[in-house]
Amino acid sequence: MEKHCAEIPCRQTVHFRRVGFLVYPDCQSLDLTGPFETFHWADLMLSVLRRPPTYRSLVIAKAVGPIRTMSGLEIVASHSYEEMVERLDTLVVVGGTGCEAAANESAMVDWVRSIAPRTRRIVSICTGAFVLAAAGLLDRRRATTHWTYADHLAKAYPSIEVDASRIFIRDGNVYTSGGITAGIDLALTLVEEDLGRELMLGVARALLVFPRRPGGQSQFRGHTSIVEKPLRADVSELQTWMLAHPEADLSVPALADRMAMSERSFSRLFRNETGQTPAEFAERARADAARAKLEHMNSSIETIATECGFGNAERMRRTFQRLFDASPADYRARFRSTLDA
């Protein structure tokens, strides 16, 4: 007797989105585990909703086995890229101090280049962008990486439009992200693309992170990272003085007079030595002095603006918004030292 289809239990076919994480020695463990856990929690949310899982995450390296990360934590690669036969939906290249060696590993770069046309999304976390750049996947694209490596990426690959201020950037089907925890921000966006905003918000709440982190990488730049050290000692000494006296007259005429030079000659020398105009450096010096005060002092924003040479709070606010994508009040709320709380 022929059985009706209704009498036969039918198992629904689950189509996974395979997410491949490419790792290498001295990679950053959080570049892997942050996004990895984000996709895992998305599947947990789906199970609560009685929906089938979406993601299957793979850890890919040159060979199957343990990989020592830059912190000493060992992770285990489940797949070798040399033997990969499974099709990937998303390729995620992690970052870390081993990125330069990885970008010079011809077999790895060739594999990334070859798999890219068959992969829906190409992603880099932090300095993983250097591997994508070596594979030619960032040519003539906008991209970002950890802010401390942004200048190096721009100089090594002039065809890339590097924007160090962004937490992450999408250009076509290529996604790049800033330093370390920015990988979680980007992974949440990928989850939202795949599964919708409501589920993404549930994952963000579970992980206790911002669904959209306010501000960009610029607000994290350290006080001493303004410029590379000039070759001339007198220019370096002038910079040191400017950093120590943000409230002083830092106009070109005043600085040129201090250097006993004409304004034109001084401006040209300063830019050649530092890569910035005197006005740009002065603004950064004042902004960094204000950041230090906002982090560690109880003074009002108006007082800090005056002490740091801005003249008034509104001018400081506009500068902070442009440089750090945050107002002075927001910056203080995010970075206020717990020692002074």
Tokens 């989850």 — which residue?
191
Q: CATH topology of 17-218 equal to that of 233-340?
A: no
List all residues 6 or more positions away from 91 whose beta carbon is below 8 Å from its beta carbon. 19, 20, 22, 112, 115, 116, 119, 121, 122, 123
- Whether the predicted pLDDT of 236 surpasses 50: yes
Q: What are phi and psi of 225, to 5 degrees?
A: -105, 30
pLDDT of residue 11: 41
Q: Give the H or E element holding residue 92.
A: strand 90-93
- Whether the predicted pLDDT of 75 surpasses 80: yes
Superfamily the domain 17-218 falls into: Class I glutamine amidotransferase (GATase) domain (3.40.50.880)
Q: Are 90 and 124 in contact (CB under 8 A)?
A: no
Q: Domain segments of the chain: what residues?
A: 17-218, 233-340
Per-residue pLDDT tens digits for 15-24: 789 999 999 9
Question: Nearest-5° angle of CA 68, CA 72, CA 73?
Answer: 75
User: What SS3 state is found at 80?
Assistant: strand
Per-residue pLDDT tens digits for 145-176: 998 899 899 999 999 999 987 889 999 999 99
- Whether the predicted pLDDT of 99 surpasses 70: yes
| Given the residues 10, 27, 99, 126, the one annotated as active site | 126
For 233-340, CATH number? Answer: 1.10.10.60
Q: Could you confirm whether 27 is annotated as catalytic?
A: no
pLDDT of residue 228: 54
User: What SS3 state is found at 196?
Assistant: coil
